Structure 1
Amino acid sequence: MAEYVLTALRFDQIVSAPGQQLEYRRRRRGDVIELADDEALRLVRAGAVKPVESPTLDDHGDSDDHGDQDDGDDQGEGPPPASVPGPPKKTALVADWVDYAVAQFESTNGQRGLPRADAEALTKQDLIEALT
């Protein structure tokens, strides 16, 4: 089991054992929750949770990150970019569509989506057509 941060508005986490009376805990956005691997995979794919990212502390209270700086010389090394959730509903606000366009652009290194300035210049209908 690992810890995840809830990004969805609400999640009713079942805490009872199978065959027992149903018990659950209501979780809200921002809550840190422990999930089994199979449930975590399902919720990460749905965009409902993300892994907790906190630096670990050593005996002196210093973080394990010793200031390694990005020299911009990665050339595609490291993990692939995080997957971006699917597009917003067509009834979503323009700002949601702009954020989606920018997330697509950033996660694919400019292969899909739009830079923020370009996305903000378009109408919602233009964004929907460009991104779906």
Structure 2
Amino acid sequence: MTDLNQITAGEYELVAALFDQPTSKPGEPFDFHRYRQGDIVTLDAAEAKRLFAAGAVVVPGTRQKAEAEALRVAYEAALAALPDDVRAQVLATQAGTSVDGLAAPAASVPSTEAVQPPKAASKDDWVAYAVASGWAEADAEKLTKKDLIARLTESDEAPDSAADPGDGDDAATPPADGADQGGDDVPERPANVADEETWLAYAIARGVPEHEAEQLSKQELINLLT
């Protein structure tokens, strides 16, 4: 238990229902800030000792420690009330050991399966998804976002990290300075300030299905095609 002599200026948890702390200076109209039970209040040494002695505030964490201790005592009492064989099984399960030659059930492991991001997500999100799916990060970084989406939605298999993703007809390297890749059949990328219709037409020309492109906002189209 904290001794009153150890109380100094600082932060304390309010356990009283309410506390009104004056905020106005002498000579000014009276004003205050109202704190409620559970709030953290900053007090000077004199006020802290006064409220602590009155049982209105405690050192932060004191209440939580007391609640945890009460739960521990209740658990131990409940455990002691169990039949010996049941108590042994409970303790063995918690320790991960076995009872009567039977292995204790293994703790469940949360799933870490990668979640595929939406097509409008940034390239960084798609690179992270590729790495979580088993790709080498360097391989994923070499592809454009469009190629990443194509590879990751067509097959769940990771590429051979020894192979160069730039080799092959369906791979591409990122265009310099945000410009589109060369080729007479690829339209020029619109400026970011272009209207949504222009970006919609560009998306369709780049191979995005029309019904999918129409469901995306202009910013989502820019994210998808940049």
* Same-fold status (TM-score > 0.5): no
TM-score by length of 2: 0.23
Structure of higher RCO (CA pairs closer than 8 Å, 6+ residues apart)? 1
Higher helix share: 2
